[in-house]
Amino acid sequence: MPTQPDRAIRSWDIFCTVIDNYGDIGVCWRLARQLAQEHGHAVRLWVDDLTSFARLAPGLDIAAPEQVLAGVTIRPWRRADQESAEESAARFAGVAPHDAVIESFACDLPATFLAAMAACEPKPAWINLEYMSAEPWVREHHGMASPHPRLPLVKYFFFPGFEPGTGGLLREAMLGMQREHLRTSPAAQAALWRRLGFQPIDGAIKVSLFAYANAALPALLAQWRDGPDPVQCLVPAGLAAQQASEWFGAAGSMAGSAFECGNLTVQVVPFVRQEHYDELLWLCDLNFVRGEDSFVRAQWAGRPFVWHIYPQSDAAHMVKLDAFLALFRHRLEQSGQIEAANALSAFWHSWNKDGESPDWSRLRACLPVLGAATEQWQRSLQHLGDLAANLVAFCENRVK
Ligand code: TRH
């Protein structure tokens, strides 16, 4: 007989602070939508920067004190260093916590809300959703409890990850079907190209390029320009588009801009709502991604990908990069694909180290092998279950 959960969880508060860029809100927004749409739960998402959020969710009204979008209730809030204790107390006065409360990426919860959680009976499930990492210690820390020093509350650490014993990765139930539809439907592909504002170039390698400003980009653009294969590089409007346009000596990097030289065509595509970003990845033969959420999406796309990891001052990001590479390389090495493993590592290292020139022709030669390996990799990741469903089960079974 299946074991009954200790407690049904039907409603969520998710707290998000936008540190920079779109990764924090990207993860929280995806999780919130999934809990609302796939699980039918009530979700209230607290976000401290609605302007950044609106890039991913263009329907958002950044002035609204409360709104419902995609089935999720959205409320603004401020961190303790952004508003006074009195303002925060007034904002949360009378707000009853939901069954589960997520503080994402260790953003501290407001004192008034925490006190309300402590007064609840039963207590809400309290989760700190952590950043994703492939480092081995994640498995030991996933699910760890941390009792509050004063209040009768216990916080649990929930780690996304790539191995059994972690929380897995966010993956919507319909994702595989949607991907197959785009891949097998010329009409859907044609419609997507129209939305992007360009047409496919016959015989060109299609590359999507989402990255931070990157010291290795000029060398890569030069190799694409001078290489034997035509390259059609689709760059979402933003940092990389700006850098590419400067490299071409062009004036603008708005969506619709296009630059050409030798065998390279760079086209700036619109920064789309989050639900549509995957389509760009599915369309391309190679995807450059960054941060956390786009990195995960590239894996579900099942196409070769290059990760520009979020840089940290103490170079901790290189440890994370290598931890992921070690897992991914293991796959390749098991099937004897040593050159593909080495080419990938070398390329990722140059892409993430200032001033090193990435070796495009070496990576190019390995794309078919890397494509097959990524497809296999994403299939095996699915066995970990989807993070949202894992989180629901975790809260229901562990938190009394
Ligand atoms: O934007 P990122 O670099 O985000 C981060 C944050 O900087 C954060 O502070 C850091 O801790 C974290 O990385 C590791 O990269 P990421 O995570 O890929 O987020 C980008 C989001 O933007 C992702 O949800 C996909 C979305 N997106 C769109 O919605 N439309 C688009 O057109 C594109 C290109 C991306």
Q: List, as one string, the DSSP characters of 166-204.
A: S--B---TTHHHHHHHHHH-HHHHHHHHHHHT--PPTTP
Phi, psi of 326 (to 5 degrees): -60, -45
Residues 6+ apart with CB under 8 A from 372: none
Both structure tokens of 181: 């539809």
Report the CATH number that the domain containing residue 256 is assigned in CATH.
Answer: 3.40.50.2000
| Residues 309, 249 share a domain | yes
Co-location of 145 and 204 in the same domain: no
Q: What is the model's pLDDT at position 4?
A: 53
HSE of 241 in the Cβ direction (CA atoms, 13 Å)? 19
Residue 356 pLDDT grade (very low, low, confident, very high; cuts 50, 70, 90): confident
Mean pLDDT of the chain: 95
Does residue 107 contact residue 131 with C-beta atoms inside 8 Å?
no
Counting from 1 in the atom list of ligand 1, the atom nearest the Cα of 25 is 24
Position 311 confidence tier, pLDDT thresholds 50, 70, 90: very high
CA 372, 369, 296 angle in degrees (round to 5)? 55
Active-site entry in 103, 130, 292, 396 = 292
User: If we measure between CA atoms, which residue out of 267, 292, 294 comes closest to residue 281?
Assistant: 294
- Asked whether residue 253 is assigned to any structural domain, the reply reads yes
Distance 245 CA to ligand 1 centre (A): 21
The answer as to whether 1 is a domain residue is no
Does residue 88 contact residue 116 with C-beta atoms inside 8 Å?
A: no
What lines the ligand 1 site, CB under 6 Å?
19-24, 26, 56, 210, 236, 271-272, 274, 277, 290-295, 310
Tell me, in angstroms, the distance from the centre of ligand 1 to residue 22's CA. Answer: 4
Confidence of residue 1 (pLDDT cuts 50, 70, 90): very low
Q: At what angle do helices 360-381 and 338-352 cross, to 10 degrees?
A: 100
Ligand 1 mean position, distance from CA 40 (Å): 26
Q: Is the pLDDT of residue 315 over 70?
A: yes
Residues 37 and 62 in one domain: yes
Dist CA 182 CA 131 (whole Å): 30
Residue 206 has pLDDT above 80, yes or no: yes
Claim to verify: residue 164 and residue 273 sit in the same structural domain: no
CA of 20 to the centre of ligand 1 (A): 9
Q: Is residue 307 part of a domain?
A: yes
pLDDT score of 7: 74
Supply the pLDDT for residue 397. 85
Give yes or no for residue 175 having a pLDDT over 80.
yes
CA–CA dist 189, 18 (Å, integer)? 33
Nearest to 72 by CA among 45, 92, 99: 45
**Using CA positions, which residue lies closest to atom 6 of ligand 1?**
23
Number of domains, the chain: 2
- Longest Cα–Cα distance of the chain, Å, equals 68
| Ligand 1, pocket-test mutation among 107, 279, 293, 312, most atoms within 8 A of CB | 293
Predicted confidence at residue 5, as pLDDT, reads 54
Residue 90 and residue 41 in one domain: yes
3-state secondary structure labels for all residues of 79-119: CCCCCCHHHHHHHHCCCCCCCEEEEECCCCCCHHHHHHHHH
**Is the pLDDT reported for residue 196 higher than 60?**
yes
247 and 362 housed in the same domain: yes
**Tell me, what's the pLDDT at 6?**
62
In eight-state DSSP terms, residue 386 is B
CA dihedral 326, 160, 207, 270 (to 10 degrees): -160
Do the Cβ atoms of 9 and 395 come closer than 8 Å? Answer: yes
Nearest by Cα to 132 from 93, 104, 96: 104
- 128-156, pLDDT tens digit by residue? 999 999 999 999 999 999 999 999 999 99
Q: Ligand 1: which atom is nearest the Cα of residue 105? A: 11
Kindly give the distance from the C-alpha atom of residue 374 to the centroid of ligand 1, in angstroms, as a whole number: 21
Residue 106: pLDDT band (50, 70, 90) is confident
Rounded CA gap, 400 and 6, in Å? 6
Nearest Cα residue to atom 29 of ligand 1: 274
Residue of 22, 47, 48, 212 with the most ligand 1 atoms within 8 Å of its CB, for mutation: 22
Question: Measured at the alpha carbon of residue 42, what is the angle toward residues 388 and 95, in degrees to the nearest 5?
Answer: 120
Determine the Cα–Cα distance for residues 63 and 134; give it in Å rounded to an integer. Answer: 38
| Residues 340 and 370 sit within 8 Å (Cβ to Cβ) | yes
Active-site residue, 135 included: no
DSSP 384: G
Distance CA 222, CA 217 (A): 9
241 pLDDT above the threshold of 50:
yes
Q: Are 387 and 162 in contact (CB under 8 A)?
A: no
Q: Cα–Cα distance between 314 and 324 in angstroms, integer?
A: 18
Looking at residue 2, what is its pLDDT? 47
Both 283 and 144 in one domain: the answer is no
Say yes or no: 317 and 338 in one domain: yes
Q: What is the pLDDT of residues 34-70, one digit of tens each?
A: 999 999 999 999 999 999 999 999 999 999 999 999 9
> 163 with 151, same domain?
yes
Residue 204: per-residue pLDDT: 98
Residues 26 and 141 in one domain: yes
pLDDT tier, 400 (very low <50, low <70, confident <90, very high otherwise): low
Instruction: Say if 362 falls within a structural domain.
Output: yes
Q: Is residue 391 part of a domain?
A: yes
Does residue 399 have a pLDDT over 70?
A: no
Distance from the CA of 394 to the center of ligand 1, in angstroms?
26
Q: 291 C-alpha to center of ligand 1: Å? A: 6
Percent of the chain residues past pLDDT 90, beyond the cut: 92
Q: Return d(Cα 322, Cα 316) in angstroms, integer.
A: 10
Residue 127 lies in a domain: yes
Same domain, 159 and 245: no
Does 87 lie in the same domain as 180?
no
Average pLDDT over residues 189-213: 97
Atom 13, ligand 1: residue with shortest CA distance: 291
Average pLDDT over residues 86-106: 95
Give the residue whose CA is nearest to atom 5 of ligand 1: 23
Q: Which residue, among 375, 177, 387, 179, has the nearest Cα to 276 in the 3D structure?
A: 179
Distance in Å, CA 27 to ligand 1 centroid: 8
Nearest CA to ligand 1 atom 18: 294
Q: Looking at the CA of residue 238, tell me the nearest atom of ligand 1.
A: 34
The CATH number of residue 28's host domain is 3.40.50
Domain range for 254 is 174-382
Which of 51, 253, 310, 317 for a ligand 1 pocket mutation test, highest count of atoms within 8 Å of Cβ?
310
Please state the atom number of ligand 1 nearest to the C-alpha of residue 275.
29
Ligand 1 atom 1: the closest Cα is on which residue? Answer: 22
Told to judge if 24 belongs to the known catalytic residues of this protein, a careful annotator would answer: yes
> What is the pLDDT at residue 365?
98
